[in-house]
Structure formats: C-alpha cells, structure tokens
Amino acid sequence: MTPTAAWTELQTRLAEINTISQIASNLSWDQQVMMPTGGGADRGKQLSMLSGMSHARWNEPGLAEALDALSGNEASDLQRAAVRNTKRQHKRSTAMPKELVQAMSEARSAAFPAWAAAKESQDYPGFVPHLEKLVALTREEVAVLQEPGQDPYDVLLEPYDPGSTSASLDPMFERLGTELSSFLQAIQGKPAPGERPKGPFAIAPQQALHESLVPALGYDMERGRLDESEHPFTIGMGYGDTRITTHYYENDLLPGLGGTIHETGHGLYEQGLPKELRGTGAGQAAGMGLHESQSRFWENFIGRSRQFSEWLAPQINAHMGTSLTGPGLYAASNGVKPSLIRIFADEVTYNLHIVIRYQLERQLFSGQIEVSHLDQAWADAYEQKLGVRPAHVGEGVLQDVHWPQAYYGYFPSYTLGNLYASSLVKALEKARPQMWAEVQKGEFAGILSWLRENVHQKAHLMDAPDIVNAACGGQQDHVADFVDHIWARHGALYGVSR
C-alpha cells in the first residue's frame, strides 16, 4: 500500500468508527436525559452492540496495515498527529487478550452495585475484594500495554492525558499540595468573605436565567442544546451537535450556575474543534486535562471573577427577584472551606482532593500501599492536607465512582485543567489587556476567539502540554500561575497576603 492509499484507507476507517461512536453518544445522551427508566435493559444491549462493532473495526487487519504503511511515511503534521493518536488507541483496542477484557467488564459490573451498597452501609472491608480484583486486573492491563522502562502509572494516564507523565506530575502535584496547604493555614480562622444567597429558588426562572447565560458566553444554540440531567455533562454527537446538560437546585443558586458555566466551557471547546479535521484522527479534543481546562476557564477564572459577578448579579436579580450586588456575589462565590466531598469543594481545596487521590494512586500502583489499607491512608491524608477526617468511608475513600469502576489515572486531569487554565488566563491577559473590562460588560467574543485560535483549533494536532505551552508563548510554570491566582483572588477576599 502506498502512503497516499494508506492515508485514504485510514481516513475511511476512522470516519466509520467515528460514526459508530456518534451513534453511541446519541443513545447515551437519550439515556441520561429523555429515556424512561423502563428502557434501561434494552438500551444496555444497544450500547453494548455498538461497542462491539467499534471494537471489531479497530481489530480489522486493514486498519493495522494502513497504520503500518503510513508510519514513518507521513506527509504532513496532520498525518503525523493522526498516526500517533491512532496508534495509541489502536494498541489499547487490540493488544488486550479477550479474556482480560471480559474479566474486567464483569468485575466492573459486579463492583458497581457492591460499591453503592458499601458506600451506603459504610462497609469498606466488604468492598475490598472488588477493589483488589479491579486493581489486579488493571495491573494485568498495564503489563500488556507497558513499553520497556515506562512507569506503570503512565500507562494509566495516557487515555485521559496523552503527553503527560508521572515524572512531570509528581513534582507539580507535590508543590501544589504544599502551596495550597500554606494558603489554607494563612486564612485559618478568618470569616468567610460572603454569604450565599438563600433559597428556595423556583426552577423555572433558574432555567430561563441559564438559557440566556449559555448563548451569551458564545455557545452556539444552533449547534447545541441545554437540557437537564442528574449529573451535568457535555457530549458531542456530530460536528453540528454538541449538547450540554445541567442540574438545578432549589436550595442554592450557585452550584447550578457553576455547573452550567462549566459545561458551557466544555461545549465551547467541542464546538470550536475544526470542521475540516473531524474524523481524521487528529480532529478530536487533546485529552481530558485540556477539556477540563476549558470548562474551568469559564466556570472559575471567568465565572467567579469580580467582573463577571458585576455583570451577572443584575441578571440573576431580574430572573430570581433577588437583590444581589456584584461584590456580594463575588464574595459568596469564593468562600474557601476544607471539606470531605470533592464534588462540593471550592476552587482552592478542590485541588487538594485531587492531589490526595493522585498520590494514593501512585502508591497503590507502585506497590507501596495495599488496597485493604487505602481507607486509613485516605483518612490520614485528608487530616494532614485538609485538616478534616472522614467519619466513615461513604464520605471518604468510597465517595467517588472512579476507583470502584477502575478509572485509575483519571483524577489528575481535573487539576491539570485548573493548572492549564491559570496559564491560559495569564497569556490572555497579556494578549488582550482589555479582557476584564470586556467581561464586566458581558462581552466574551474576543476571549472566545483567542481560545478558538490558540486551543480549540489545535484539536489533537499536538498533545495538551504542548498546546498550552505554545498558546502561552513557551514552557510555563503552571503551579506558580495557579497559586498566584489563588493568592490574588482568595487572598485578597480573606485579607491575607504572602
């Protein structure tokens, strides 16, 4: 096969796989937003059939032949990126023995209800055998995929954050943990800067508020939708169809707003991916960390800023009949309080939740810690880093679904998103000194077009660390950028300085 023919062949095959995945996304969106509960069993079969079809296509010899013929003979940056990305996924989809795939799938299915029950009854020992099994199977998967000399953890990291390694994350997360702990010490005992608006808040006006906010940020409603689901999410199901969901709370306005702005950030990224690259193997997002940088850019860096609060407060008042002021909303949005549950954590302590999980995962997969001791290690780490200790595993090691479903290597992307976003904001402030004045007026087009050009349009032509550094004009110290932001924003609100 000539390289030109191989490229055409590869494109045809990837486009098909892409279409299968879009159909699955469609069914999955429907399952979480529209489907009556009775549809569950058959929907499971439908999704499993599509996943089998996709797996079979990855395993067709023609795909491997095209990849081989192209590899080393790429004619452009696009082809090089597509081959690199596709090889990674091809290896994950084809290298695993069938028995191992089956065993993992069964272990996950068995673990899910057992996790829910153990969380409810606060019974860690009861869940340990499941977790041990999942970790053991994950170790087998790592052994299959691992390159000579590669750290086992890097194999886990790759599907979520291709291009990141534990060698780069270890010192970053260590330093971030120390810096944030000293920030917490500095504000210890200080009163919260503001009070959150008190409910109850009717859902219908909240909905109207959110529906006006999402397009105002630049999200294209002709190529997307906003719906409601139990857990907010974003899903792309074709070039012109990227959907987001949110969740409204009657007792508190802010989590719903934060969730909507977060998902809008994800949606803007998906909508900004270049049309001409779709299905090429390089047209997709460059990983979870970069995706999360886009959601957190809007949710935290823009959405919790003083200027955005000035712009948003009168709109909340108009819809909800409240009497919020810009400074009041700003202060209420930026309280910092160590707590046990990650998903309800503030912008500062959130990252300590992730540092703890990351360091425990590293210890788990390097054999320094046993699954049976993970609950204690977790509680000790929370006490040491956040000064709070879970009373039981339901608010401790069993709170998240990630480990009970064998998603190891996933957590770092949340904090990487915050770190990347802080460097992107710094670069944007330089490129666009008027940005904060624009935010205060509700003008987001200039900011969005900078993100489009420097992040979204790069799709997966480079790995995330390279995209962010290129956007920022060279290698960045993300931890320093993030910590500077925390002191500038939260330090000022709490009246402390370094």
293 is an interface residue for Zn ion by CB under 5 A: no
State the nearest-atom distance from the C-beta of 206 to Zn ion, in Å: 20
Q: Residues binding Zn ion: what is the number (CB under 5 A)?
A: 1
Using the rule CB under 5 A, give the single segment among 94-102, 171-179, 294-302, 490-498 that binds Zn ion: 294-302
| Displacement of CA 333 from its chain's centroid (Å) | 21
State the nearest-atom distance from the C-beta of 224 to Zn ion, in Å: 16
Using the rule CB under 5 A, give the single segment among 149-157, 158-166, 291-299, 303-311 that binds Zn ion: 291-299
Whole-angstrom Cα distance, residue 257 to residue 249? 10
State the nearest-atom distance from the C-beta of 262 to Zn ion, in Å: 6
State the nearest-atom distance from the C-beta of 118 to Zn ion, in Å: 26
Among 79, 138, 295, 423, binds Zn ion (CB under 5 A): 295
Determine contact, residues 326/313, Cβ cutoff 8 Å: yes
Which residue in 364, 467, 340, 481 sits closest to 415, CA to CA? Answer: 481
Nearer Cβ to Zn ion, position 266 or 319?
266
Asked if 263 is an active-site residue, the reply is yes
Which residue in 455, 453, 4, 78 sits closest to 281, CA to CA? Answer: 78
Using the rule CB under 5 A, give the single segment among 41-49, 290-298, 339-347, 480-488 that binds Zn ion: 290-298
Tell the burial category of 192 from Cβ atoms under 10 Å away from its Cβ (0-12, 13-18, 19+): middle
Whole-angstrom Cα distance, residue 456 to residue 475? 19
Whole-angstrom Cα distance, residue 181 to residue 73? 50
State the nearest-atom distance from the C-beta of 397 to Zn ion, in Å: 22
Residue 324: left (phi > 0), alpha (psi -120 to 50), or beta?
Answer: beta
Nearer Cβ to Zn ion, position 295 or 422?
295
245 is an interface residue for Zn ion by CB under 5 A: no
Alpha-helix residue ranges (DSSP H) falling in 122-253: 124-145, 152-157, 166-187, 203-216
Nearer Cβ to Zn ion, position 300 or 349?
300
Calculate ∠ Cα 436-437-438, nearest 5°: 85
Nearer Cβ to Zn ion, position 79 or 234?
234
Using the rule CB under 5 A, give the single segment among 154-162, 220-228, 289-297, 436-444 that binds Zn ion: 289-297
Determine contact, residues 201/250, Cβ cutoff 8 Å: yes
Nearer Cβ to Zn ion, position 222 or 230?
230
List 141, 158, 179, 263, catalytic entry: 263
Q: Provide the annotated active-site residues.
A: 263
Q: Which residues bind Zn ion (CB under 5 A)?
A: 295
